Amino acid sequence: SQQGEEDPQALSIQEGENATMNCSYKTSINNLQWYRQNSGRGLVHLILIRSNEREKHSGRLRVTLDTSKKSSSLLITASRAADTASYFCATDPRSDAGNMLTFGGGTRLMVKP
């Protein structure tokens, strides 16, 4: 079962625009992570936000976390063609069943030059 669900499933924007992707999850978490996957490649970690944090920045990336709404957003500012990829959120749920990192289905971002 997927703990995280990304929205939208696909997003197409022009270079220079901002891209916003959302992630919703179902249970309480310890942290939430965002990963990028270029076509045909493995996933690359972008940023981790802990449950007691509300916002985090890394370069052109801004991640927010609202634990009351069980949701997170990833904002990529001033997008570039090289940002074209799939983006996944992954949650570390608090669970007696074990500390498993579960991934959402991803958002496919296309940045047109």
Partner 1 sequence: DAGITQSPRYKITETGRQVTLMCHQTWSHSYMFWYRQDLGHGLRLIYYSAAADITDKGEVPDGYVVSRSKTENFPLTLESATRSQTSVYFCASSETGQGAGEQYFGPGTRLTVT
Instruction: Note the residues at the interface with partner 1 (CB under 8 A).
Output: 1-2, 30-31, 33, 35, 40-45, 48, 88, 90-93, 98-106
Q: How near is the Cβ of 78 to partner 1 at its closest, in Å?
A: 24
Q: Residue 41 or residue 80: which is nearer to partner 1 going by CB?
A: 41
Burial class (CB in 10 A: 0-12, 13-18, 19+), 95: middle
| Whether the Cβ atoms of residue 106 and residue 6 lie closer than 8 Å to each other | yes
Q: Residue 20 or residue 51: which is nearer to partner 1 going by CB?
A: 51
Report which residue type is found at 42: G
Q: How near is the Cβ of 96 to partner 1 at its closest, in Å?
A: 14
CA atoms within 13 A on the CB side of 27: 16
Q: Residue 18 or residue 38: which is nearer to partner 1 going by CB?
A: 38
